[in-house]
Amino acid sequence: MNTASLTMSEIRAGLISRQFSAVELTREALRFAEAENPKTNAYISLSPERALTAAEGVDRKLAAGEDPGVLAGVPIAVKDVILTKGVKTTCASKLLENYIPPYDATAVQRLEAAGGVIIGKANCDEFAMGGSNENSAFGPVRNPVALDRVPGGSSGGSAAVVAQGTAVGSLGSDTGGSIRQPASFCGVVGVTPTYGRVSRYGLVAFASSLDHIGPFGKNVDDAARLLQAIAGRDEMDATSAFAPVEDYLAALADTNVRGMKLGLPTEYFNGLESESGSLISKAIDVLKSKGCDVQEISLPHTEYALASYYIICTAEASSNLARYDGVRYTTRADADTLSGMYRNTRGDGFGAECKRRIMLGTYVLTHGYYDAYYLKAQRVRNLIAQDFAKAFAEVDAIVAPVSPFPAFKLGEKIDDPLAMYLADIYTITGDLAGVPCMSVPCGTTAEGLPVGLQILCNHFEEAKMFRLAKAYESSR
């Protein structure tokens, strides 16, 4: 069997018809991942023992005539900032290179309860900080579509494994576009659900008020299936929502979007490269042909989003990353004094981008600067959320680019942090507002580089978002 080409529904059908067993599928997936990973470096580690144990459980359920779950036998990769009991979780950092968590993240528990088989941990930017997956202590990830290009970040490994076929689905995390941008760069589907839709329990925190866990899939159906499995209230996460979870797979059965009102935010088309813009325009034309009513809208505070985001996320990062000091679960550097041990551990362990963000965040939280920077940034965030609320009072969904450009070359922007940050301009607003958003492939450039169409909906309207995405995907 060729795991690289199978979708989740095909895997389920093959298991039920006894074309193959979950154990056979898992062994093949592990073999293929091990053989192909040197090309992209998309995995930090594989977890064969855990994977085969889960697969055996799926086969036992099938033999007993029980429902094996919505993700039965599906080989899944998990971003290495999401805790996996007994399997190393490094956050792509030297500080945690030997850390083995004592418990699973809620999302991981739910994946396996739904029959999913976790085959490994996907590479990422260190502590999820970066837009190219070049900030990993274990080396950069290469885009499987073009090996001289970045896969996007910070969830670059999670997107790359799906594009490469070394996993059928994966989980990533998104703080400012870290699911949608890699999905766009690698030509797969990536979903950032509403803040609180998926439990963050067991997600190593970067910026707690912005972090989301979300799925990557080969197509809209696979992404919806993954989100169905992991969504819902969790008592272990005080920020997880009580809102009921809709049936996303049922929503995909209705692709009639005639009369749906779509907004095109004028601010999102400034600075867009012409070739990417042309592909986005063609995608919009497809939606028009499906009967959607497309109109221009304005999200006027978008121009302040970048400054607001990088103040808030660095401030929260400074606070969250203070715990990595060599005292408890990190590697430890030698020193004669306690303060020296702190200094050496953090100095040796954190990479350049983490240090940059910790210093920025510490500065904006300093007495005398808190009101001028952090408090003002939170007020701007509220204005951005109001922009979306006003827009969704007029339209059903917003469609826009994911990135101003397709995947750039490895090393092209790594020495220019501002240029890297500017690449997030179309994605950070969705995270600041906490609304669901996703990237759907909408074509490739003349060089064969994928481009993604971004769809955003109002809070907890993932079903509507999936329906629109499926309508577009089925018309391409």
Q: What is the pLDDT of residues 255-290, one digit of tens each?
A: 999 999 999 999 999 889 999 999 999 999 999 999
How high is the pLDDT of residue 440? Answer: 98
Q: Are 316 and 365 within 8 A, CB to CB? A: no
Name the pLDDT band for 317 (thresholds 50, 70, 90).
very high
Look up the domain containing 215 and give its range: 8-232
Give the least confident one: 40-44, 219-223, 266-270.
Answer: 266-270
Give the least confident one: 101-105, 114-118, 225-229, 413-417.
Answer: 413-417
Task: Kindly state the percentage of the chain with pLDDT values over 70.
Answer: 100
Query: With 80 as the cut, is the pLDDT of residue 1 above it?
Result: no
Task: Please report which residue ranges of 3-105 form alpha helices under DSSP H.
Answer: 8-16, 22-40, 48-63
For residue 321, which phi and psi values (nearest 5 degrees)? -85, 0
Classify residue 211 as exposed, middle or buried by CB count within 10 Å of its CB (0-12, 13-18, 19+): buried
Measured in residues, the chain has a length of: 476
Q: Is residue 22 in a domain?
A: yes
- Six-digit token string for 309: 């985001």
Of the residues 21, 47, 79, 308, which is catalytic? 79
For residue 189, which phi and psi values (nearest 5 degrees)? -95, 130
Query: With 80 as the cut, is the pLDDT of residue 2 above it?
Result: no
Classify residue 282 as exposed, middle or buried by CB count within 10 Å of its CB (0-12, 13-18, 19+): middle
Of the residues 21, 136, 170, 178, which is catalytic? 178
How high is the pLDDT of residue 412? Answer: 95
Using one digit for the tens of pLDDT, what is the confidence trace for 187-203? 999 999 999 999 999 99
Q: What is the dihedral of CA 386, 404, 207, 214, to 10 degrees?
A: 90
Using one digit for the tens of pLDDT, what is the confidence trace for 334-344? 999 999 999 99
Name the pLDDT band for 110 (thresholds 50, 70, 90).
very high
Q: Is residue 151 in a domain?
A: yes
Task: Please report which residue ranges of 271-372 form alpha helices under DSSP H.
Answer: 274-289, 305-320, 338-349, 352-364
How high is the pLDDT of residue 4? Answer: 80
Q: Is residue 279 in a domain?
A: no
Q: Is residue 273 in a domain?
A: no
CB within 8 A of 179, min separation 6: which ones? 155, 158, 159, 172, 173, 190, 191, 192, 212, 214, 216, 439
Name the pLDDT band for 434 (thresholds 50, 70, 90).
very high
Q: Is residue 34 in a domain?
A: yes
pLDDT average, residue stretch 282-305: 97
Q: Is residue 67 in a domain?
A: yes
Look up the CATH number of the domain holding residue 137: 3.90.1300.10
Of the residues 93, 154, 184, 308, which is catalytic? 154
Domains of the chain: total? 1
Using one digit for the tens of pLDDT, what is the confidence trace for 169-192? 999 999 999 999 999 999 999 999
Is 178 marked active-site? yes
Using one digit for the tens of pLDDT, what is the confidence trace for 403-430? 999 999 999 999 888 888 888 999 999 9
Query: With 90 as the cut, is the pLDDT of residue 328 above it?
Result: no
Mean pLDDT across the chain, nearest whole number? Answer: 96
Query: Which stretches does DSSP call E strand in 73-130?
Result: 75-79, 117-122
How high is the pLDDT of residue 214? Answer: 98
pLDDT average, residue stretch 466-475: 97
Distance in Å from the first CA to the final CA of the chain: 27
The span from the CA of 463 to the CA of 191, in Å, is: 12
Using one digit for the tens of pLDDT, what is the confidence trace for 54-87? 999 999 999 999 999 999 999 999 999 999 999 9
Q: Is residue 391 in a domain?
A: no
How high is the pLDDT of residue 185? Answer: 98
Q: Are 255 and 471 within 8 A, CB to CB? A: yes
Q: Is residue 73 in a domain?
A: yes
Name the pLDDT band for 389 (thresholds 50, 70, 90).
very high
